[in-house]
Structure 1
Amino acid sequence: MKKLPLLLCSIFPLFTHAQQALKLWYKQPAGNIWTAALPVGNGRIAAMVFGNPEEELLQLNESTVWTGGPNRNENPEGLAALPQIRQLIFEGKQKEAQELAAQKIQTKTSNGQMYQPVGTLHLAFAGHDKHDNYYRELDIEKAVATTSYSVNGVKYTREVFASVPAQTIIVRLTASKPGALDFAAYLTTPQKNATVKATGKDLIVNGITGSHEGVEGKVKFNGVARVIATGGKVLTSDTAVTVQHANSALVFISMATNYVSYQDLSADAARRTATYLNAAVKQPYDALLKAHITSYQRYFNRVKIDLGTSDAAKEPTDVRLLNFSKAYDPQFVSLYFQFGRYLLISCSQPGGQPATLQGLWNGEMSPPWDSKYTININTEMNYWPAEKDNLPEMHEPLVQMVKELSVTGQGTARTLYGARGWVAHHNTDLWRITGPVDRIFYGIWSMGGAWLAQHLWDRYLYNGDRRYLADVYPAIRGAALFFVDDLVEDPKRKYLVINPGTSPENAPSTRPGVSFDAGCTMDNQIVFDALSAAISAAEILGKDAALVDTFKATRDRLPPMQVGQYGQLQEWIDDLDNPKDNHRHISHLYGLYPSAQISPDRTPELAKAANTTLEQRGDVSTGWSMGWKVNWWARLQDGAHALKLITNQLSPVGQHGGGTYTNLFDAHAPFQIDGNFGCTSGITEMLMQSHDGVIYVLPALPPQWKTGSIKGLRARGGFVIEELTWQDGSITTLVIRSTLGGNCRIRSSVPLKGATPRAKATGVNSNPFYQVAPIAAPIIHNKALSPQKRVAPETYDVPTEKGKTYRFSAM
C-alpha cells in the first residue's frame, strides 16, 4: 500500500471502514453556530462542544433545569361547557364550538414551563486563532468528542465526554510540548437569578430558575467546573481560573438541582454536585475514560449495521451531507442510523427524564415550543427506536413519565370531562401537566395520554415480562377507562366518537382555522389501540373481566376507517380531504405506523388508500414529518420511496422543507431531535418488521442497498436478529435467538432453509405476542380504486425454545 505523506496523515487520519464509519468529523470548528457543535450527554447532563481553537465553548444543560414549579393547569369551567360544545359540533357549528372551548376548556394558567440551559464553560487560548492541521470529530462508537490542531508546531488536543459512571462531563486538554498549555477558564450563564464565581480551582454557578406564566420558579441549580493541571501554575481571580505553562489539564463539570420528582423539590443541589465531583476527581483519567466507554458500549455495541461503502465516506461529514443526494454513500445512512442510537443513549438514561423536543440539548432561555414534551407525535417519535433497536433501558424514563401522567391526568379527566381514568392533551412538561395548552387550534386534543400508553403495552410485547406488565397495567387500564366515559354517540351515524376531537394541527380546507370535529380518524385509531391494549393486558393478568367486556363493547362501536372520493384514507369522518393539501401532519396514518391497523397484507384497500394519501401530501416537509414518512413507506413495503425520504432528510436545511444541520441534528426547522429518532426507526422498519403477526425480514429493501448486514435488532415476542445478511437484494443468512420461546413466524421474499423443522405458515400466529386485533371492515366509497393483487411472500412457522438460536439461509 502506498504511504500517505506524514503531514496528510496528521490532518486526516487514514480512512478505514472500522475507524471512520462511526465518526462525525470536520475540517473546521463550529464557530458560533450551535447546530454545528457536537453533542455529548449522559442522560442527565449534557454539553454542546464547539471545538473553537481560540475559545472553546461547552454549552451546558441539566435535565431538570426548568422554569416554574409544581402546578396544575385545568380550566375549572370546562365540564359545564362540554355538553354545549358537543352539541354545536354535532350541529355542524364547529367554529362556534371551538370559540366556546377557547374560553371554557383551554387553560387560563400555565401553557407549560420551559426547559433551559445552565450556562456555558469558556476555555480561552490566547494566540490560537492562528492554527493549522485542524480536525474535529465525534466518535459515536466511544461517545467522545475530540478537537486537535497545531499552533507554532505544537499539537493541542481536547477530549470531551459525559460519563454515566462518574456523573460528570470530563474535558482533557493536552499539548505535544511540555509546558505549552496556557488557557483561562470561566463560566457564564443566561439565567437572571444566578451568580457565578471562582474559588480555588473551581468555577461555580448557583441559581434558581425563573417564573413563567404565573408559575413561580423553584428549581435551584448548582454547577461546578474544577480545573486540575499537570505541571505549570493555576491562578484564580474572582471569575476565572487560569492555567499557565502546564503539560496537560483536566476539567470536571458537575451539575445538579433540588428536583426529586414533579411534586418534590427537597434535594440539596450543591451537595449533589459536590458528591458527583469529589468522587470523579479521585479517579485517574484513563480509568474514567475506560469506565465511560464500557458503560456506553454496553448499549451501543448491541447493534451493528453495514449497508456498504464508497469513496464518498472518506469526506468530512458536512461535505457528505451536502453531496448525499448526488453521491452513492450508503455508509452515511449507517452513520445516521447509529447517530440516532447514540443520541438516545446520551439523552435518555434509566432514572432520568425523557428526551424533550430537543433531547437533552438546548441553548436558549426561551427555546422553540419551550423544549417541552409535545405528545401529539414528537415525544412518541423520540422513543420509536428504543425497543427494536435494542435500547430498551433508554425507554424507562418515558415509561416513568407516563406512569406519573396517569396520576396527574386523573384530575384533568374529572375536571374537564367528568370521566374516570386519566387523560393528557398534546403537551406536557417536567411538572406533568395534562390540561390543554397553547393554541385552541390544536390544544384541545385528548389523545396524548392514550398514545403514550401504547408505549407501555408495546414494551411488554418485546420483553414479555408479566411483572412489568402488572406495574404499568393501571396506566394502560386508566387510559382506556377514560374513553368508556368520554365517548359519545354520534346522533347521525350512531358510532361512539370523541367530541370534541381534532386531527392534530390540521383542518379541512372547507373551514380553515377550525380544527374541531367529532370522530376524527386518528382519534378513532388511538381509542381502538388503547382499548385493545387494555383488553389484552387485563386478560394476560387475569384482571377486570367485567371491565374487559365493557372495553370490547365500546371498541365494537367505534367508527371504521373510510376510503374517500379521491382514493385517500379519510382524515375526518366526513369526506373533506383536499388532494392538494400538503400539511406536515398526516396524523390519520397513525393506523399504518406506529399502529398495526393498516397492513398491505391484511387490509390492502386501506394500505392503498394510505399510499394515495402519502402521494397527495408529497415528500417535502419538516424534518420530523419526513422521519414519520420513512416509517410509513417502509410499512407499505416501498423501500425506494422510503430511501427517497431519507435522502430528503439527509440534505442541508431548507432544500426539501426540513433537512439536517451540519452536526446531523434534525431540522424542523428549527432543531428538533424527533426527526433523528424517526429516521433511525424508519431504517429499522425497512430491514425488519414484527408488528403484523410475523417477523418480516427485508420488507422494504431499496435497490441501492444491494448488499449489507445488520445484527442485534429486537423483534416482538423476545426474538433477537443475531445476524441478517443479504447479497444482491436477497437474504443469505438469518440467525434468530429466542429469549422467550414460542412460535417464530418468519416472512421472507425468498425461500429459506435451515436445520430447524419449519412449516408453511397458515392461520393466526399461535404466539401470543403476535396477535393482531381485527379492525372493522372499512367503508370504501365508489371512486376508490381497488388495490393490485399481491404475491404472498414465503412465510414459515418455526417452534422455538427459550435461549436457543436458529439459523437459516436462502434455498
Structure 2
Amino acid sequence: MMKIAFGLLLTLVVFCVSAQEFDDKMKLWYDRPASNWNEALPLGNGRLGAMVFGTPAMERLQLNEETLWAGSPNNNIHDKAKDALPTVRKLIFEGKYVEAQDLATKEIMSQTNHGMPYQTFGDLFVSFPGHADYSAYYRELDIENAISTVQYKVDGVNFKREVLTAFDDQVILLRLSTDQPGKITCQLQLNSPHDNADAVTENDQILVSGVSSMHEKQPGRLKFQGRVKAKLTGGKQIVKDGIIQIEGADEVLVYVSMATNFINYKDISGDEVSKSQELLENAFSKDFESIKSSHVDYFKGYMDRVSIDLGITEAASKPTDQRVAEFSQGFDPHLVALYFQFGRYLLISSSQPGGQPANLQGIWNDRLFPSWDSKYTVNINAEMNYWPAEVTNLTEMHEPFLQLVKEVSETGREAAEKLYGAKGWVLHHNTDIWRIAGPLDRAPSGMWPSAGAWVSQHLWERYLFTGDKQYLEEVYPVMKGAAEFFLDFMIEEPENNWLVVTPSNSPENVHAGSGGKATTAAGVTIDNQLVFDLFSNISRASKILGKDEAFAMEVEKAKKRMPPMQVGKHGQLQEWMHDWDDPKDQHRHVSHLYGVAPSNQISPIRTPELFDAARTSLIFRGDPSTGWSMGWKVNLWARFLDGNHAYKLLQDQLSLVTPDKKGGGTYPNLLDAHPPFQIDGNFGCTAGIAEMLMQSHDGAIHLLPALPDVWEAGSIHGLVARGAFEIIELTWKQNKIEKLVVKARIGGNLRLRSSDQLRNEKGFRMSKAKGSNPNHLFEIMKINDPIISPEVKLNKVELPKFWEYDIMTTKGKTYTFYRK
C-alpha cells in the first residue's frame, strides 16, 4: 500500500537535480532566530563546541571545551563488594530478586561517587544596539563546510555573521560584516556560571578563568581559561572591565580560545593559561579567509568521503524545522539524506583523533549539571555514538572511543580485583573523563558488569573494517583482559549448570520473576550474547595472530557452557534466562536484540528460528519510544530486511519535538530528543540509514537489503564494508541496482549478496558462492553458530531470493558491476 500511495506522490512532486545542485542543499536553515538551546545550531572541532543562536540584537554563542568536567582523577571502587557478592548471588538463585537487588545497592554499588558531570564553559554574548527591529532574516548551518551564517537587515543595512570552530587553529572565530562601512557597533561579554569565574580585562583581551565544580565529595581541580580578542577594520574599540566595546567598524573578527589543565585521565598538570594564550595569539595573526580555508579543507577531507542522493522534492525549499514537522505527512527524501549527513557532521565535530570521545551530548552542553551528567553510558548509548564511524568512512573519528576502551581496561583492572577478586578488567554501565570503572547509581541500572565485553566489540569491529593485523596485535591484550574477567566472574547456575554472569540486569528493564519490582537477575540474554561475541573474537584473533592458542581453547570451552538463546512461549526471543517476557512490555531498551544489531549472531540465513523470534520481540516492543531507542530500531528493522518498517521508524524519529510537544523525536535543530537531548539518536539513525542501503555483517556485502519502496531511485558513494571494501558507487532505479563500483582496499575475496542478478563489466565470471578463501575477513565474520534452544515451529518471515557471488580482488583495484 505504501508503494502505491507514494508512487503517485513521486510522480507529482519529485524533480531531478544535478549533483552540484543537490550538494548545495546540505544545509539546515531557518527564517527566525533560535528561541531556546534546542533551536541553536552546533559547531565543533572535536575539542571546542559552540551553539549559535543567531538573535540579531543579542548573539549568544554557548561554549564548551571537551575536557571541562567536574571532579578530579579518581576511581569509584571500594572493598565491601567482595564480601557481599556470594550472598547476592545466593539470593538471586533462590528467586529473591528484590532482596538481592537491595543488598547489591547497599554493598556493591559505589555510595559516594556516581560519576562526574561534563560541564559548560559559559557564553559569549555580542549585543547590537538598535537591532531588535530587523527584517529579511536568514540563519543556516552549512554541514558541507562546518560554518554557521546569520543574515538580516536593519535600517537598510545588510548585516552578516559567520561562525566557525577552526579545526587547524583551535579557536572559535566570528566574523561580523555589512554591505556598508562603519555600521558595526556592538559589545562583547564573556561569562561563565562556574563559581569564582568572573570576567577580567588583560591588555586588549577579556578572559575568564575558573575551576570545575566539586561533585559528590570529589573536589573540582580541573582549571580552565577562556580568552576573547577582537580585530577591527575601521572604527574603534575599548577594552575595559571585562567588556569589549566596538563602535563604527566596517568588519570585526572575534577570536575565542579555551583551554584546561587536563593532560589525561590521571594527569591534570597542564598549563591552561599558556595554552589559551598561545592558541589565541597564533590564530590572531591570521585573517578570516586563511583560517576559514584551512578549516574547510580539513573538515571536507572527512565529510566529502560519503555522498548520498535519495531524491529531492519541493519540501527541500522549506525551513528545516517545518520540514521535520511535516515529514511524516509528506515525502521529503532529501531530509533523510540531510539527517544522515548531519550525523556524520556531528561525529566529525565532536570526536577528533587525540581527543575525548563524544559523550552523551557530543560536546554540546549548556549546564553545569546536565541530565545523566552527560557522561558515557556504556550499556548502549556510548557505543551507539560510534556505530556510524566505520561504515560511513570516518574511521579516524572512532579513535577517541577506542582509546577510552584502552584506558578503562587500566582502571577496570583495579576494579575487577578490589570489587570481585577477579582477574582481567571490568566496566559497568557508566564511566566519565576520569575513566571510573566501578558500579554507580543504584543496582536496578548500575549492577551491570558487562560493558567491558560491549566496548571490546568495537576493537574487533575496527579490525573487520580495516584488516589491520598490526592494530589487532595492539588491542588483543585489551580484549583478552576483558575475557579473563568473565572467565573468573561467571559461575554455574543451579537449574541447568550453565555458566552465567550474575548479578546483572537486562538494561534497565524489570522482570516478571520479581513481580516487576527488580531488574537484578542471572544469565540475561544480552550478557550471554556479549560474552559469546567476546570469546568468539578472542578465538578468531588468536588464529589470525598465531598466538595464545591455550587461552583461545579455554574461552571456547567456557562458551559451550553458557546459556543458549531461547524462544519463549509467545514465540519471542527471551530477554532473560527464564521465560518472563510480557508482549505488552514496551521498554525503551531492546537489549536482547543485540544479537541482531549491532552483533551478527542472529541471521535470516544461519538462524532463521532466532531471526523470526527476535522479530516477534521487536514487534511487541512497538515503534514510538525515546529518541535513541528509535535510532536502534531503525538498525534492527534494517537487519530484519524490512525497509518499509525501518522507514516508518525514521518517520517516528523525524517527528518535531518542541516545548509544547513532548516525547522522543527530533528538535528543530535536528538534534535527537530523548528527551532531553542525547546525541546517540542522531548517530544511531545515521548508522541505520547506512544499514538500509548496505550491510556487511553476515558474511557478504548485502546490497540494498532494506530499501523502502519510497526510495525508488538514488545513489550513495563512499560507504565502507567489512572486509575493507569501499563502495565507491551504488546507484539504483525503480528499486533495482543499476551500478556498483567497489574498491578493494586490501584485496581478497569479494562476496556480494543482492536481490538483483549482477554482471561484471570486464566479463569476470561470478559464481554463486559455495564458500571461499577461509582466511578472508568475511569468513571469520561468520562466527560459530550460536547455541540455540530446541527447535520451535514458528511462522517464519518470507525472505526475498538472494543472489550471492564471489570474485577475487586485488589490493587497490576497483570493480564495476551492473544489473544483469
Class of the TM-score when normalised by the shorter of the 2 chains: over 0.9
Q: Which residue in the other structure is 1:739 paired with?
A: 745
Residue identity opposite 2:677 in structure 1 = F
Establish whether residue 796 from structure 1 lines up as the match of residue 805 from structure 2: yes
Select which of 755, 779, 785 maps to 2:794.
785
Contact residue 309 and residue 716 of structure 2 kept, 8 A: yes
Deviation track 1:573-628 (CA, whole Å, cap 9, x = no partner) reads: 11000000011011000000000001112111111111111111100100000000
Residue identity opposite 1:808 in structure 2 = F
How far 1:21 moved relative to its partner?
A: 2.3
| SS, match of residue 743 in structure 1 | strand
Q: Which residue in the other structure is 1:237 paired with?
A: 240
Worse-matched range after superposition: 310-319 or 191-200: 191-200
Establish whether residue 435 from structure 1 lines up as the match of residue 444 from structure 2: no
How far 1:19 moved relative to its partner?
A: 5.5
Instruction: Give the Cα separation in 2 of the matches to 1:170 and 1:767.
Output: 50
Q: Which residue in the other structure is 2:564 paired with?
A: 560
Deviation track 1:366-390 (CA, whole Å, cap 9, x = no partner) reads: 1000000000000000000000000
Q: Which residue in the other structure is 2:610 paired with?
A: 606
Q: Which residue in the other structure is 1:674 paired with?
A: 680
Establish whether residue 128 from structure 1 lines up as the match of residue 131 from structure 2: yes
Contact residue 201 and residue 228 of structure 1 kept, 8 A: no
Deviation track 1:273-302 (CA, whole Å, cap 9, x = no partner) reads: 112111111112111111000000000000
| SS, match of residue 625 in structure 2 | coil
Q: Which residue in the other structure is 1:7 paired with?
A: none
| SS, match of residue 305 in structure 1 | strand
Change (3 A) 1:796 1:621: same
Q: Which residue in the other structure is 1:10 paired with?
A: none
| SS, match of residue 779 in structure 1 | coil
Select which of 718, 729, 733 maps to 2:735.
729
Instruction: Give the Cα separation in 2 of the matches to 1:513 and 1:105.
Output: 19
Select which of 762, 766, 769 maps to 1:761.
769
How far 1:791 moved relative to its partner?
A: 4.4
How far 1:200 moved relative to its partner?
A: 3.3
How far 1:146 moved relative to its partner?
A: 0.2
Q: Which residue in the other structure is 2:366 paired with?
A: 363
Residue identity opposite 2:420 in structure 1 = Y
| SS, match of residue 563 in structure 1 | coil
How far 1:768 moved relative to its partner?
A: 2.7
Contact residue 220 and residue 258 of structure 1 kept, 8 A: yes
Instruction: Give the Cα separation in 2 of the matches to 1:790 and 1:260.
Output: 53
Instruction: Give the Cα separation in 2 of the matches to 1:15 and 1:471.
Output: 42
Instruction: Give the Cα separation in 2 of the matches to 1:324 and 1:128.
Output: 34
Select which of 652, 664, 671 maps to 2:670.
664
Q: Which residue in the other structure is 1:633 paired with?
A: 637
Contact residue 42 and residue 346 of structure 1 kept, 8 A: yes
How far 1:786 moved relative to its partner?
A: 3.7
Q: TM-score, normalised by structure 1?
A: 0.97
Residue identity opposite 2:642 in structure 1 = D
Instruction: Give the Cα separation in 2 of the matches to 1:614 and 1:72.
Output: 37
Q: Which residue in the other structure is 1:166 paired with?
A: 169
Contact residue 15 and residue 314 of structure 1 kept, 8 A: no
Change (3 A) 1:550 1:316: same
Deviation track 1:675-707 (CA, whole Å, cap 9, x = no partner) reads: 000000000000000000000010000001000
Establish whether residue 775 from structure 1 lines up as the match of residue 785 from structure 2: yes
How far 1:169 moved relative to its partner?
A: 0.8
Contact residue 756 and residue 803 of structure 2 kept, 8 A: yes
Select which of 775, 800, 818 maps to 1:809.
818
Instruction: Give the Cα separation in 2 of the matches to 1:420 and 1:509.
Output: 33
How far 1:218 moved relative to its partner?
A: 0.6
| SS, match of residue 351 in structure 1 | coil
Residue identity opposite 1:340 in structure 2 = G
Task: Report matched runs for 1:66-81 at 5 Å.
Answer: 66-81=69-84
| SS, match of residue 194 in structure 1 | coil
Change (3 A) 1:406 1:115: same
| SS, match of residue 562 in structure 1 | coil
Worse-matched range after superposition: 74-83 or 133-142: 74-83
How far 1:788 moved relative to its partner?
A: 4.2
Establish whether residue 277 from structure 1 lines up as the match of residue 280 from structure 2: yes
Instruction: Give the Cα separation in 2 of the matches to 1:413 and 1:394.
Output: 29
Select which of 434, 443, 447 maps to 1:444.
447
Select which of 580, 583, 592 maps to 1:579.
583
Contact residue 188 and residue 245 of structure 2 kept, 8 A: yes
Select which of 428, 440, 452 maps to 1:425.
428
How far 1:792 moved relative to its partner?
A: 3.5
Q: Which residue in the other structure is 2:140 paired with?
A: 137
Select which of 331, 346, 356 maps to 2:349.
346
Q: Which residue in the other structure is 1:30 paired with?
A: 34
- Runs of 5+ consecutive residues of structure 1 not aligned to the other structure: 1-13
Residue identity opposite 1:730 in structure 2 = K
How far 1:532 moved relative to its partner?
A: 1.1
Select which of 285, 294, 319 maps to 2:297.
294
Contact residue 193 and residue 210 of structure 1 kept, 8 A: no
Residue identity opposite 1:525 in structure 2 = Q
How far 1:543 moved relative to its partner?
A: 2.0
| SS, match of residue 235 in structure 1 | strand
Select which of 256, 261, 264 maps to 2:259.
256
Instruction: Give the Cα separation in 2 of the matches to 1:657 and 1:702.
Output: 25
How far 1:665 moved relative to its partner?
A: 0.3
What percentage of residue pairs aligned between the two structures are identical?
51
Q: Which residue in the other structure is 1:550 paired with?
A: 554
How far 1:95 moved relative to its partner?
A: 1.3
Instruction: Give the Cα separation in 2 of the matches to 1:234 and 1:800.
Output: 64
| SS, match of residue 324 in structure 1 | helix
Contact residue 758 and residue 799 of structure 1 kept, 8 A: no
Contact residue 211 and residue 221 of structure 2 kept, 8 A: yes
How far 1:225 moved relative to its partner?
A: 1.1
Select which of 646, 658, 673 maps to 2:650.
646
Q: Which residue in the other structure is 1:6 paired with?
A: none
Deviation track 1:617-641 (CA, whole Å, cap 9, x = no partner) reads: 1001000000000000000000000
Deviation track 1:542-591 (CA, whole Å, cap 9, x = no partner) reads: 22111111011011111110111101110001100000001101100000
Instruction: Give the Cα separation in 2 of the matches to 1:583 and 1:499.
Output: 22
Change (3 A) 1:96 1:649: same
| SS, match of residue 256 in structure 1 | strand
Contact residue 606 and residue 785 of structure 2 kept, 8 A: no
Worse-matched range after superposition: 660-669 or 202-211: 202-211
Instruction: Give the Cα separation in 1 of the matches to 2:421 and 2:139.
Output: 57
Q: Which residue in the other structure is 1:8 paired with?
A: none
Q: Which residue in the other structure is 1:3 paired with?
A: none
Q: Which residue in the other structure is 1:403 paired with?
A: 406
Establish whether residue 83 from structure 1 lines up as the match of residue 90 from structure 2: no
Establish whether residue 751 from structure 1 lines up as the match of residue 749 from structure 2: no
Instruction: Give the Cα separation in 2 of the matches to 1:757 and 1:763.
Output: 16
Establish whether residue 119 from structure 1 lines up as the match of residue 122 from structure 2: yes
Task: Give 4+ residue runs of structure 1 displaced > 2 Å after superposition.
Answer: 14-21, 198-201, 654-657, 763-768, 788-792
Q: TM-score, normalised by structure 2?
A: 0.96
Contact residue 204 and residue 225 of structure 1 kept, 8 A: yes
Q: Which residue in the other structure is 2:594 paired with?
A: 590
Instruction: Give the Cα separation in 1 of the matches to 2:542 and 2:767.
Output: 32
How far 1:144 moved relative to its partner?
A: 0.2
Instruction: Give the Cα separation in 1 of the matches to 2:304 and 2:196.
Output: 42
Contact residue 206 and residue 239 of structure 2 kept, 8 A: no
Contact residue 75 and residue 104 of structure 1 kept, 8 A: no
Deviation track 1:156-208 (CA, whole Å, cap 9, x = no partner) reads: 00000111100111100001110001100001111113221123331201001
Instruction: Give the Cα separation in 1 of the matches to 2:401 and 2:190.
Output: 32
Contact residue 564 and residue 781 of structure 1 kept, 8 A: no
Select which of 485, 490, 495 maps to 1:487.
490
Contact residue 120 and residue 367 of structure 2 kept, 8 A: yes
RMSD: 1.4
Residue identity opposite 2:771 in structure 1 = G
Residue identity opposite 1:73 in structure 2 = N
- Runs of 5+ consecutive residues of structure 2 not aligned to the other structure: 1-17
